[in-house]
Structure 1
Amino acid sequence: MNAWQSLTRRLAVATGPIRSLGSASAQAQTQTSAEDVEARPYSDVPRPGKLQFMRSFMPGGEFSDASIVDFSVAMRQRYGDIFVLPGMFGSKDRVVTFSTSDIATVFRNEGAWPRRESFDSVTYFRQHIRPDVYGNSLGLTVSQSEDWGKMRSAVNPIFMQPKGLRMYFEPLSNINNEFIERIKEIRDPRTLEVPENFIDELQRLIFESLALVAFDRQMGIIRKHRDNPDALALFRTSRDIFRYAFKLDMRPSIWKIVSTPTYRKMMRTLSEGLDVAQRILADSQQALEQRRQAGEQVNSHSIMQRLLEISPNVALVMGMDMLFAGVDATSTLLSAVLLTLAKHPDKQQKLREELTKIMPTKDSLLNEETMKDMPYLRAVIKETLRFYPNGLGTLRSCPENVTLSGYEVPSGTPVLVAANALMKDPAYYARPDEFMPERWLRDPQSGKKLQVSPFTFLPFGFGPRMCIGKRLVDLEVETSVAKLIRNFHVEFLHDASKPYKTLFVMEPAIDFRFKFTDLKD
């Protein structure tokens, strides 16, 4: 048995009780071991009828405007911890499970090249519309099997090692200094509140940060070049793609049979984004070459430069996927951190006390050394990820038949492991509706950390196919939160009872009119 198998088997044993929701108030209970009883056939897994399922998403249907989280929680109350979302119009059935035992089983049996069901519409574009660009590198977001394994092995050393991000500490710190000036420009001089569209400003901040990593250049869309047409086109398309993909690939859609309006919009958006990204990458390469010829020092260890060493297409595809997967999700996370701190001023002050020790002045630049010792900052971000789960979970398909909650699930069936929903479940987290960063820190008396049930905190996934951008997201959010909280006291004086809605991932449902009050050094 290799180390990976040993770890996952130990975790599987330790997953503890699973929940069975015959009603909303059902309590955690022990599941009979799958080895002790004969597995029931897949056809017995609870599910709605196909026609019923399709009607529920049509205008006026039960779930026509529901998020995937609201929908799945309602389904859980109706059917229990495991159920099937029927496949239609060329799409497969999807099994949804809320059981930690099932989640452990799925990850334990995902194989050397885990298959994560992706967006078929994006895959179709890359395979059939633009194979000239994507023929040898579909990208980590949609590639599968050996193709995925080869690409992941090639780029892992670039993204997963902390030293690969060292060069970005100070540039990202400077980008956030510019963002701070932008806040001062746009806030109301009387109320100190930012405008209703502040989420757009947060998205520009994250886009600027990701573009720096992806294309070795600053786009300037925070302040200097807000109307940069190429940057704005890439900014817009990277966000629109995700919304179209949700409509085409997560909800019932006939696009595989008939060319629908949303499908055509998606293909145009993907084409536009690709054209702009190719142009930006070429411009970045040309600018770097001109600097070399002029005798300037060029850092050859940037992520883009290292990806180019693999191949220009890999650099292009990875750059686009960074924006596609990162802009909305990371900006939403940043808004959530600011919101939790604004609503919990005692936690905000505790964080500021930690930051002041490391950042003696408000304009202090962050670097690798200063970012090392910020345990409370990291606890705040971790607790925000638990408090506002980003979506329901992740999709996997097992290469062999597996037994989940006593049912035999055929090989190749997509399984949505709903781990994120468990982060607000009192069966696993004490006082789940309270924002308590301290739950992630060592107890000052005992020196022990909170023991979290395995497979209940997986905001970036798990195993070989966990999010490759985790370290980059950590760096961006830690830098932005540190700079903002060191410069401002942040308040939110409006209703925040339902600040987010969730399609496939969480997105804002309200206007984030934060109040930013300047601090003295």
Structure 2
Amino acid sequence: MRCVTPPISRLVWVSLRPVSSHHQDLTALQCGADELATARPYSEVPGPTPLPLIGNTWRLLPIIGQHRVADLAKCSAQFRAQYGNIVKLSGLVGRPDLLFVYDADAIEKVYRGEGPTPFRPSMPCLVYYKSVVRKDFFGALPGVVGVHGEQWRVFRTKVQKPILQLHTVRKYIQPIEEVTQYFIQRMCEMRDERKELPADFDNEIHKWSLECIGRVALDVRLGCLRPNLPRDSEPQKIIDAAKYALRNVAILELKAPFWRYVPTPLWTRYVRNMDYFIQVCTKYIDAAVERLKTKRSVVESDLSLLERILAAEADPKTAYIFALDLILVGIDTISMAVCSILYQLATRPDEQEKIHEELLRVLPSVDTPLTSRHLDQMLYLRAFVKEVFRMYSTVIGNGRTLQSDTVISGYRIPKGVQVVFPTIVTGNMEEHVNRAAEFLPERWLKGPGDSQYRIHPFASLPYGHGARMCLGRRFADLEIQILLAKLIRSYRLEYHHKPLEYKVTFMYAPDGNLTLRLIPR
């Protein structure tokens, strides 16, 4: 009699194999469809009521408006206080609705549900510049900032490996330390008789930031830190162009979006500034191409970040655009973060002393050259920076443009809505962070199972999350950490003036003169 029972090995395989991906996909689709079918309609999401014709745009206009661009952080907090953990701002002239989400679980759900090419709503004016105004230059290589979809994925694939590899980043410890040491020397020289730094010290920080980025992205020392840098010098013009391009984004997108229809003076100057960036990047990278031609060794480990990109790509335009993106978003972002960190250090002497004590252990000698091993031991220093970013997030929010209908906090949110995750608010919510109102770097040093300093992992994401996380984050962290290590090891920061309020330019940072007192230890 023929046996019809399957072999034991087949029985085991059938019983243990996972459900097929096809079945999983169908199950996920069914769950998604059921959730969408039972969700509350988008029309019921709370938020400010738009007026006929002018919608909610009037709220951001001068004189008649309720909110100034500089107060966007406060505005975001007010929305949550008035409407709850999900708020709709609809009826914005020339742009999609904004949906503010303050629930960290909902934020996590959106992030984890995104595909390989998330759509991050960022600077439509830059998108228009790259894809229309200067399509002749960018073509099929639009870069990583203000770009989405397959074009973004292809370009990011070209550059992400070298910029995110730790051994590449570590190659720049010594060059950035050299720049930073000279910057600290300049800080000492520019103090007044009270040992205070000048009122425009934030511009000096921008010079240091540009000098560091130039070393990374362009393989050159731009000379930004020269004393008495003329207003019409190339480094100062780059700084001014970056400030203008970034600090007017909110105005161009929310307050005065009329450039979409007519070439306003604000838009015309924006285009002129972006053209200047292209000119600068092209000049320096063409020089790097010539240097690479005569370089004796082209072994990857011997090449700089820029040289690795040039060696791997036949078209040097990849390097032009990559450098442009790094400079455009890096100068102001890192500079404003440093302004905030230094201000918090100067106004928190106890925490500053803890950092100094840690640095004495890690760097017994002031003259010890920094290594990756030293930086890895600066645990409290890094925790202090993370706590500054939590309470005073330089980037007030991250976001996504939904690529399909999605359920968020029980509401059916349609495709095309721009979802905003207000990090500056969520990082300070007691629901997400224990003792949220207290400045406690120790919360970032907690051990496994320590619930004393609970913090939701999606409440504070200064660099974003997932595939579209900030590409230059490791270099940003490196520059900040080296500056703090060299500065606090030898000097004490103090601040003896009226407390500074935080406001939004493009970044969220102290508003006013950063007249810090720099005292040798």
- TM-score band w.r.t. shorter chain: 0.7 to 0.9
1:425 corresponds to which letter in structure 2?
M
CA distance in 1, matches of 2:478, 2:404: 37
Output one character per residue of 1:67-120: Cα deviation in whole Å (capped at 9) or x when no partner: 221122222223222222224443111211112232122112221211111211
- Indicate the residue corresponding to 1:461 in structure 2: 464
1:108 alignment partner in structure 2: 112
Alignment partner of 2:140: what SS? coil
Displacement after TM superposition at 1:497 (Å): 4.8
Shift of 1:399: 2.1
Write out per-residue CA displacement over residues 24-82 of structure 1, whole angstroms, 9 at most, x where no aligned residue: xxxxxxxxxx9599212222222330436222222212113542211222222232222
Sort the Cα spacing of 1:251 and 1:105 in 2 relative to 1 into closer, same or farther, 3 A: farther
Amino acid at match of 2:60: F
User: What is the RMSD computed on CA atoms of the aligned residues?
Assistant: 2.6
Say whether 1:270 aligns with 2:266: no
Deviation of 1:398 after TM superposition, in Å, equals 2.6
1:22 is matched with which residue?
A: none
1:260 counterpart residue number = 264
Q: Does 1:328 align with 2:332?
A: yes
2:480 to 477, 483, 496: 477
Residue from 306, 313, 317 that aligns with 2:308: 306
Matched residues in 2 for 1:36 and 1:209: separation?
48
In structure 2, give the amino acid aligned to 1:40: R
Q: Give 1:165 shift.
A: 0.8
Q: What does residue 507 of structure 2 align with? A: 505
Structure 1 Cα separation of the partners of residues 299 and 84 of structure 2: 61
- Which of the residues 101, 113, 133 maps onto 1:97? 101
Contact 1:89–1:256 (8 Å) recurs in 2: no
Report the Cα distance in structure 1 between the residues aligned to 2:152 and 2:186, rounded to whole angstroms: 40
Name the counterpart of 1:197.
200
> Which deviations, in whole Å up to 9, do the C-alpha atoms of 1:310-347 show, x marking residues without a partner?
23112111111111111111111112222222122121
Q: 1:148 is aligned with what amino acid?
A: W
- Once residues 359 and 514 of structure 1 are traced to their aligned partners in structure 2, the CA distance between those partners, rounded to angstroms, is 24
Indicate yes or no: 2:413 matched with 1:420: no
Of 492, 496, 501, the match for 2:499: 496
Aligned twin of 1:208:
211
Q: In structure 2, what is the equivalent of residue 380 of structure 1?
A: 384
Tell me what 2:23 maps to.
Answer: none
TM-score by length of 1: 0.87
**CA displacement at 1:360 relative to structure 2:** 2.6
297-306 or 261-270: bigger deviation: 297-306
Shift of 1:352: 0.9
Kindly indicate whether the alpha-carbon contact (under 8 Å) linking 1:68 and 1:504 is maintained by their aligned counterparts in 2: no
Cα drift, residue 447 of structure 1:
7.5
Are the equivalent residues in 2 in contact too, given 1:387–1:423 (CA < 8 A)? yes
Cross-structure match for 2:223: 220
Which residue matches 1:243? 247
| Residue type at the aligned position of 2:469 | M
2:176 equivalent to 1:175: no
Q: Deviations over 1:162-213 (max 9, x none)?
A: 111111001111111101110111001x210011011111111111101100
Question: Which stretch shifts more, 88-97 or 222-231?
Answer: 222-231
Residue equivalent to 1:355: 359
SS for the counterpart of 1:232 is: helix
> How far apart are 1:494 and its partner, in Å?
1.4
| Paired residue type of 2:355 | L
In the TM superposition, what is the alpha-carbon distance from 1:427 to its structure 2 partner? 2.1
**Whole-angstrom CA distance in 2 between matches of 1:133 and 1:233:** 22
| Unmatched 5+ stretches in structure 1 | 3-33
User: 2:443–2:454: 8 Å Cα contact kept in structure 1?
Assistant: no
Within the candidate set 144, 150, 154, 2:148 is matched to 144
The one-letter code sitting in structure 2 at the alignment partner of 1:218 is: R
Q: What SS class does the counterpart of residue 261 from structure 2 fall into?
A: coil
Partner residue, 2:368 = 364
Q: Give the equivalent residue in structure 2 for 1:17.
A: none
Look up the match of 2:44: 44
In the alignment, the residues of structure 1 paired with residue 293 and residue 514 of structure 2 have an alpha-carbon distance, to the nearest angstrom, of 42
Rg larger for: 2
Question: What SS does the corresponding residue of 1:396 show, helix, strand or coil?
Answer: strand
Write the letter of the residue equivalent to 1:474.
D
Aligned residues: 483
Partner of 1:369, secondary structure, is helix
Of 289, 307, 311, the residue aligned with 1:285 is 289
Cα deviations across residues 369-428 of structure 1 (Å, max 9, x unaligned)? Answer: 322211111111111111211233112023221111221111222111223311111222
Question: 1:12-161 to 2 correspondence within 5 Å?
Answer: 35=35, 38-47=38-47, 48-50=49-51, 51=54, 53-60=56-63, 61-64=65-68, 66-161=70-165
TM-score (norm 2): 0.87
Instruction: Point out where structure 2 has 5 or more consecutive residues left out of the alignment.
Output: 1-17, 20-33
Q: Which residue number corresponds to residue 234 of structure 2?
A: 230
